[in-house]
């Protein structure tokens, strides 16, 4: 429900017609999304996004118990924003490649922790054989049959197809047969060719990224979608990015969640030129995403990238998911993220409850596993 104050603020900013379309359930145009990005009153924009969030999910806020596996950071690509990749694992001290045994042990050793999902992402290694990737999935599946295996970004899957002379369908089918159950949303960055030429010109193009997800959806795999914001892109390019995702979602319905990722400036090639995006920018990006992506069920604030406090605030700006416990994350921590290496389930509950929401543990396909609807303890606070 929009407050009279929010109605007045939206009218004052000239956003009355867009508000009316949102309240009538009508789709927003790209021009209207840019107008929302430029809105002066962040609180009023947030109220409108919150209205949509609560209409879809009420106070439910989703999370899962997950572990990350990054088997190697050796990568042949040279994305300017990347702090994770290294050119090799022989001379550079921070380059590494896990053996198959190490990769499988890294996951299977967490079994006693009640994990429900592994999230696998790597660099584009020049020498690892196809069997390495297949066996990683196969052996995890054999050792832990009920674990959800979310693995390999569209950029990696496109790389596999080219490197190993397979079609996308072959790559995906073989991984599905080995035990893969969904694919993550990374590698999307910003789709605009102008931006990709400048920040990631030697990996999958926007069209190739979208084609991988189209192929995955055709084979019945659900996937996620990300957007790296806060570097050289314009607001119109952010909207163009979301518009291309919305169009593919109209076609396939295979995306589960949209995840805006904040650019981190430490230890990469463009960090000196661009400061970390502000909290204001993050909140308006979540809000516009919630309003524009009318065919996406979920919008996620990835607390590792955003910080716990911002992720908590985002729950009033259209966000209904905070990712999960995220054991063993490397990619954002190598980019200077100062967030903890993991959050316990209790810490996630506290973050969510003190934002006035209800923590809901989900599985990787957004089935509800448990609603934690006990009231929060009566003390001031939030993420510590
Ligand atoms: S973002 Fe991915 S593809 Fe690009 S350099 Fe980093 S690890 Fe490689």
What are the pLDDT digits (tens) for 357-378?
999 999 999 999 999 987 655 4
Domain for residue 190, yes or no? Answer: yes
Domain span including residue 168: 58-371
C-alpha 158 – ligand 1 centre gap (Å): 13
Domain for residue 150, yes or no? Answer: yes
Residue 249 three-state SS = helix
Co-location of 136 and 154 in the same domain = yes
Q: Residue 91's pLDDT is what?
A: 66
Co-location of 294 and 327 in the same domain = yes
In this predicted model, what pLDDT tens digit does every residue of 318-371 receive, in sequence order?
999 998 887 766 666 666 666 666 788 888 999 999 999 999 999 999 999 999
Q: For ligand 1, say whether the CB of 75 is within 6 Å of any of its atoms.
A: yes
Position in ligand 1 atom list of the atom nearest CA 76:
8
Domain for residue 345, yes or no? Answer: yes
Q: For ligand 1, say whether the CB of 154 is within 6 Å of any of its atoms.
A: no
Co-location of 128 and 200 in the same domain = yes
Domain for residue 382, yes or no? Answer: no
Greatest CA separation for the chain: 63
Domain for residue 381, yes or no? Answer: no
Per-residue pLDDT band at 93 (split at 50, 70, 90): low
Structural domain ending residue among the three candidates 12, 38, 54: 54
Mean pLDDT along residues 90-95: 73
Co-location of 187 and 263 in the same domain = yes
Domain for residue 109, yes or no? Answer: yes
Co-location of 162 and 125 in the same domain = yes
Q: For ligand 1, say whether the CB of 199 is within 6 Å of any of its atoms.
A: no
C-alpha 186 – ligand 1 centre gap (Å): 10
Co-location of 135 and 229 in the same domain = yes
Domain for residue 249, yes or no? Answer: yes
User: How far is residue 185's CA from residue 296's CA, in Å, rounded to a whole number?
Assistant: 13
Residue 254: CB atoms within 10 A of its CB come to 22
Co-location of 281 and 220 in the same domain = yes
C-alpha 77 – ligand 1 centre gap (Å): 6
Buried b (16+ CB within 10 A) or exposed e, 145-177: eebbbbbbbbbbbbbbbebeeeebeebbebbee
* Mutational test site, ligand 1, from 80, 92, 95, 124, max ligand atoms within 8 Å of CB: 124
Q: Residue 381's pLDDT is what?
A: 45
Co-location of 215 and 324 in the same domain = yes
| DSSP of 177-230 | HHT--EE--TT-S---HHHHHHH-TTS--HHHHHHHHHHHHHTT-EEEEEEEES
pTM: 0.94
* Mutational test site, ligand 1, from 88, 152, 155, max ligand atoms within 8 Å of CB: 155
CATH value at residue 264: 3.20.20.70
C-alpha 82 – ligand 1 centre gap (Å): 6
User: How far is residue 224's CA from residue 168's CA, in Å, rounded to a whole number?
Assistant: 17
Residue with tokens 């840019």: 34
C-alpha 242 – ligand 1 centre gap (Å): 21
Closest residue by CA, ligand 1 atom 4: 79
* Mutational test site, ligand 1, from 68, 74, 75, max ligand atoms within 8 Å of CB: 75
Residue 122's contacts (CB-CB under 8 Å, 6 or more residues apart) are 70, 71, 72, 73, 75, 152, 156
Q: What is the chain's mean pLDDT, rounded?
A: 92
Structural domain ending residue among the three candidates 23, 38, 54: 54
Total domains, the chain: 2
C-alpha 76 – ligand 1 centre gap (Å): 8
Co-location of 355 and 291 in the same domain = yes
Structural domain ending residue among the three candidates 12, 29, 54: 54
The answer to whether residue 384 scores a pLDDT higher than 50 is no
Co-location of 136 and 221 in the same domain = yes
Cross-sheet strand order for the sheet of 182-183: 66-69, 117-120, 148-151, 182-183, 222-229, 255-262, 298-299
Co-location of 169 and 276 in the same domain = yes
Co-location of 159 and 245 in the same domain = yes
């Amino acid at each position: 429900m929009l407050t009279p104050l929010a109605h007045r603020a939206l009218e004052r900013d000239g956003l009355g017609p867009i508000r009316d379309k949102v309240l009538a359930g009508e789709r927003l145009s790209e021009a209207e999304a840019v107008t929302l990005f430029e809105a002066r009153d962040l609180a009023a924009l947030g109220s409108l996004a919150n209205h949509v969030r609560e209409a879809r999910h009420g106070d439910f806020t989703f999370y899962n118990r997950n572990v990350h596996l990054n088997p190697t950071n050796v990568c042949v690509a040279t994305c300017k924003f990347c702090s994770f990749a290294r050119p090799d694992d022989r001379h550079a001290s921070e380059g590494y490649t896990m053996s198959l045994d190490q990769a499988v042990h890294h996951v299977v050793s967490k079994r006693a922790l009640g994990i429900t999902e592994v999230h696998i992402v790597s660099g584009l290694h020049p020498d690892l054989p196809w069997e390495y990737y297949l066996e990683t999935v196969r052996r995890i599946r054999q050792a832990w049959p009920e674990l959800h295996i979310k693995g390999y970004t569209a950029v990696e899957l496109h790389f596999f197809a080219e490197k190993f002379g397979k079609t996308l369908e072959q790559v995906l089918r073989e991984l599905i047969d080995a035990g893969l159950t969904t694919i993550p949303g990374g590698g999307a960055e910003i789709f605009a060719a102008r931006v990709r030429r400048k920040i990631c010109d030697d990996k999958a193009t926007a069209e190739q990224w979208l084609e991988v997800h189209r192929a995955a959806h055709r084979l019945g795999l659900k996937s996620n979608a990300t957007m790296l914001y806060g570097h050289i892109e314009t607001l119109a390019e952010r909207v163009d990015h979301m518009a291309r995702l919305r169009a593919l979602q109209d076609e396939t319905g295979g995306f589960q969640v949209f995840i805006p990722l904040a650019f981190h400036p430490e230890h990469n090639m463009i960090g000196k030129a661009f400061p970390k995006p502000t909290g204001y920018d993050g909140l308006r990006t979540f809000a516009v995403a919630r309003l524009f992506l009318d065919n996406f069920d979920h919008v996620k604030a990835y607390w590792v990238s955003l910080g716990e406090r911002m992720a908590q605030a985002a729950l009033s700006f259209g966000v209904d998911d905070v990712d999960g416990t995220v054991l063993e994350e490397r990619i954002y921590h190598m980019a200077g993220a100062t967030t903890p290496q993991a959050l316990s389930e209790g810490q996630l509950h506290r973050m969510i409850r003190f934002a006035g929401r209800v923590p809901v543990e989900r599985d990787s396909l957004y089935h509800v596993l448990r609603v934690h609807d006990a009231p929060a303890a009566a003390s001031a606070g939030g993420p510590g």
